Chains A and B, each alone.
Chain A
Amino acid sequence: MRCTGSPSMRNCEVHDLGRMGYTKALQLQHELMERRKRGEISDQLLFVEHPHVITMGRNGHAENLLAGPDLLGRAGIEFYETDRGGDVTYHGPGQVVGYPIFDLREWKRDVAAYMRAIEQAIVAALAEFAIDAGRVEGLTGVWVDGRKIAAIGVHISRWVTSHGFALNISTDLSYFRYIVPCGLTKPVTSMRELGSNASRQEVIGALAQSFGRTFEFAVQEVLVTTETL
């Protein structure tokens, strides 16, 4: 369904796309980004879960990838270089990946404010599961007790955003051993590790609501989409 608020509020469609390959999701983001630039669609918030994949951002350093391609291949992990900001990260089962396709000209036209707002929205969503997460000055992402629970990396083209964030729900954290996440020798954590048994649907519901509050659009229900949009 289309999530529409009062006339004064902006519209945003929220889609849960379920399991989707990294390249397919990337392609979809590009299409939606172009359509958003042309004003054909409203803001979009996509949720996906990727199969095991390691991606390297524009500021990525090869040394933060700790495994060679053959080892990754044997472990069943794909590898991509992407046009998002940030260093290297891992996506996989048990992780909710959020891709906001927002036109920031209609919000604040401020990249830093956008990053902080994403962090804020994730912190608020985690609070609903009694997880006391926060930001760390100078380190993008969402942290619990010195451990990173959500990573953020964003691309912006003419103020329209793509890429986004990855929040560990029940991610098998051992996969992070192949990388130095975001180039930081800091540990990672997940909601499961912190004692939460929240389901993917519950987490997506909470994220959709908190993104709605943070970016001031109304969200009634998450649209579960299996076909291309």
Chain B
Amino acid sequence: MMDVVMPQMGESIVEGTLTKWLKKPGEHVERDEPLFEISTDKVDTEIPSPVAGTVSEVLVQEGTTVGINTVVGRIDENGSGAATPAAEKPAAEKPAPQAPATPAPSAPAPQPVAKSAPPQPQPAPSQQAPPPPSPGPAAHATLQSATPTPPSQPAPVTAGLEEPAGPLSPLVRKMARDYNIDLKQVHGTGAGGRITKQDVENYMAAQGARTVAQATAPAAMPGPETRPAPAEAPMPRAEAPRASVEPMSTMRQKIAEHMVFSKRTSAHVTTVHKVDMTKVAKLRDRVKADFQARHGFGLTYLSFVTRAATAALRKYPLVNASIEGTNIIYHNEVNIGIAVALENGLIVPVIRNADEKNVAGLQRSIVDLSTRARSRQLKPDEVQGGTFSITNFGSFGSVFATPVINQPQVAILGAGVVEKTPVVIEDAIAIRSVCYLALTFDHRLIDGALADQFTGHVKSILENWSEDVQ
């Protein structure tokens, strides 16, 4: 019996990820024939078998990262095909993980190994964090049922990942791999019975419905978050076959995390002030053509609001602060994050030292950052270091909204649409350009009085605008 180890692919390399077994247990391999593939850095390397024989054991599953010289499998040099049962050896036989940081080789999972399924790289996430000592698929299902089943996570299908004979698109193959779907169970509706993305999604949706139905009963084991399992059980998959499932993009996941994190962290309170923008509107109307000609971009209300906010932040530094433990961190710079809507997300690039810029300078920064945000050309440090944020929901027609604080900041100012409105001035009705400014503040640090002083100061600057704009 010959041990096959994770080879060292260079002096500085201490571990590698086994990405694919090219031979399955029971299969014959020639000496020097590629046996498995590993990945280090951005290099994919085929590793040849050290000897001829029969693959008797696969000890490291696909997608697992192990230290060099870890035994990943064994080859029986007296190769007879009857070696398959060896694959089901108890976990104790498996090598102890060499590097403590690497995830332990996942549970023995005898089924995919023993079956004559083609080797499929397993989705990384499930391998990275295997349910501690998984007693078997049943417990797995229970665990899943206790935590809310996200739409993109169908029940673990424990049958082997066999592929049907017909051609498969890379996307379908990838989906099957990522969601552990037995494609033989999927009814293909494409040309020649080919399985389409839609077919897989329909299958997943239907499968999901089934899982939830099954899962509600044995939900005895509470998940890590002790929330009542039945609560979400009947809901999400009821309309399942009509739903389509799509994994969130990385950006979406980050936004989701950040929003919930922020709501959990800060005591959000929003105060709204009505601002008469008539003076600013008149100034803007007067200079906007020249401004456009001189700078090559338009002049928007957002720059005026930003300018007023920077002045107010200078006056009320607590609004430009953040909390660290029980300390208040006062920032010496006023770095304003400007929320930019992207096609499928949101990013908040930062205008550094915004208080040192005038309206034209701010407008230039806003145009530059939002343009590059939309073409994904922002540098990493341009989305960091903000001390306060502004969101311009008025550009989408909103009158006012209650924005979520951009952590670790303590306040965010939202500007509603500027609209001509009848207002009462000294018992006469006048038509004025009005907008609502909404300040969401973290009540842990900022009390209502300060929030209103701050917003009132922004309002006062805008209503009594005195700076020239060129």
- Determine, out of B33-41, B265-273, B300-308, B385-393, the stretch whose residues face the partner at the interface: B33-41
CA of A108 to CA of B170 in the docked complex: distance in angstroms?
Answer: 35
Question: Chain A nearest CB: distance from B33 CB in Å?
Answer: 10
- Asked if A115 and B34 sit within 8 Å, CB to CB, the answer is no
B10 is contacted by which of A110, A158, A183 (Cβ under 8 Å)? A110
Q: Mark A67-85, 1 if CB is under 8 A from B, else 0.
A: 0110000000001110111
- Asked if A110 and B42 sit within 8 Å, CB to CB, the answer is no
The B-contacting residues of A in range 46-88, CB under 8 angstroms, are 56-64, 66, 68-69, 79-81, 83-86
Question: Chain B nearest CB: distance from A102 CB in Å?
Answer: 13
Nearest 8 CB-CB pairs, A to B? A110-B10, A85-B44, A111-B9, A86-B42, A146-B379, A112-B10, A156-B45, A85-B42
A177 at the A/B interface (Cβ < 8 Å)?
A: yes
- Besides the known contacts A85-B39, A86-B42, 19 further A-B residue pairs in the complex with CB atoms under 8 A apart: A56-B174, A59-B39, A64-B250, A79-B170, A83-B37, A110-B11, A112-B12, A145-B379, A146-B381, A156-B9, A156-B45, A157-B46, A158-B46, A158-B48, A173-B375, A177-B376, A183-B250, A185-B251, A187-B378
Chain A residues with CB under 8 Å of B327's CB are: none
The A-contacting residues of B in range 344-367, CB under 8 angstroms, are 344
A174 at the A/B interface (Cβ < 8 Å)?
A: yes
A140 at the A/B interface (Cβ < 8 Å)?
A: yes
- Asked if A110 and B9 sit within 8 Å, CB to CB, the answer is yes
B406 at the A/B interface (Cβ < 8 Å)?
A: no
6 A-B contacts (beta carbon < 8 Å): A62-B171, A68-B197, A140-B42, A146-B379, A153-B43, A154-B44
- Asked if A155 and B124 sit within 8 Å, CB to CB, the answer is no
Chain A residues with CB under 8 Å of B173's CB are: 81
A213 at the A/B interface (Cβ < 8 Å)?
A: no
Chain A residues with CB under 8 Å of B12's CB are: 110, 112-113
| Most B C-beta atoms less than 10 A away, residue of A58, A64, A147 | A58
A85 is contacted by which of B41, B251, B377, B378 (Cβ under 8 Å)? B41
- Asked if B40 and A111 sit within 8 Å, CB to CB, the answer is yes
Q: Mark B17-60, 1 if CB is under 8 A from A, else 0.
A: 10110000000000010100101111111101000000000000
A69 is contacted by which of B9, B19, B32, B169 (Cβ under 8 Å)? B169
Question: Chain B nearest CB: distance from A79 CB in Å?
Answer: 6
Task: Identify whether the interface residues of B are mostly helix, strand, loop, or mixed.
Answer: mixed
Q: Contacts A62-B175, A81-B174, A83-B44 given: A113-B375 contact, CB under 8 Å? A: no
- Asked if A185 and B250 sit within 8 Å, CB to CB, the answer is yes
Q: Contacts A59-B17, A68-B197 given: A115-B174 contact, CB under 8 Å? A: no
Nearest neighbor of B248 in chain A, beta-carbon distance: A63
A35 at the A/B interface (Cβ < 8 Å)?
A: no
Q: Which residues of B contact A (CB under 8 A)?
A: 9-13, 17, 19-20, 32, 34, 37, 39-46, 48, 121, 124, 169-171, 173-175, 178, 197, 247-251, 344, 372, 375-381
Please report the total number of A residues contacting B with Cβ < 8 Å. 51
Q: Which residues of A contact B (CB under 8 A)?
A: 56-64, 66, 68-69, 79-81, 83-86, 108-115, 140, 145-147, 152-158, 163, 173-174, 176-177, 180, 182-183, 185-189
Nearest neighbor of A181 in chain B, beta-carbon distance: B376
Chain B residues with CB under 8 Å of A112's CB are: 9-13, 40-41
CA of A70 to CA of B59 in the docked complex: distance in angstroms?
Answer: 40
Chain A residues with CB under 8 Å of B381's CB are: 146
Chain B residues with CB under 8 Å of A173's CB are: 375, 377
- Asked if B197 and A69 sit within 8 Å, CB to CB, the answer is yes
- Asked if A115 and B375 sit within 8 Å, CB to CB, the answer is no
B380 is contacted by which of A79, A152, A186 (Cβ under 8 Å)? A186
Nearest neighbor of A83 in chain B, beta-carbon distance: B44
B170 is contacted by which of A80, A156, A182 (Cβ under 8 Å)? A80
CA of A110 to CA of B45 in the docked complex: distance in angstroms?
Answer: 12
- Asked if B43 and A114 sit within 8 Å, CB to CB, the answer is yes
Chain B residues with CB under 8 Å of A69's CB are: 169, 171, 197
- Asked if B43 and A154 sit within 8 Å, CB to CB, the answer is yes
A152 is contacted by which of B11, B37, B42, B48 (Cβ under 8 Å)? B42
CA of A157 to CA of B17 in the docked complex: distance in angstroms?
Answer: 16
Chain A residues with CB under 8 Å of B10's CB are: 108-114
Question: Chain A nearest CB: distance from B42 CB in Å?
Answer: 4
- Asked if A155 and B44 sit within 8 Å, CB to CB, the answer is yes
Nearest neighbor of B13 in chain A, beta-carbon distance: A112
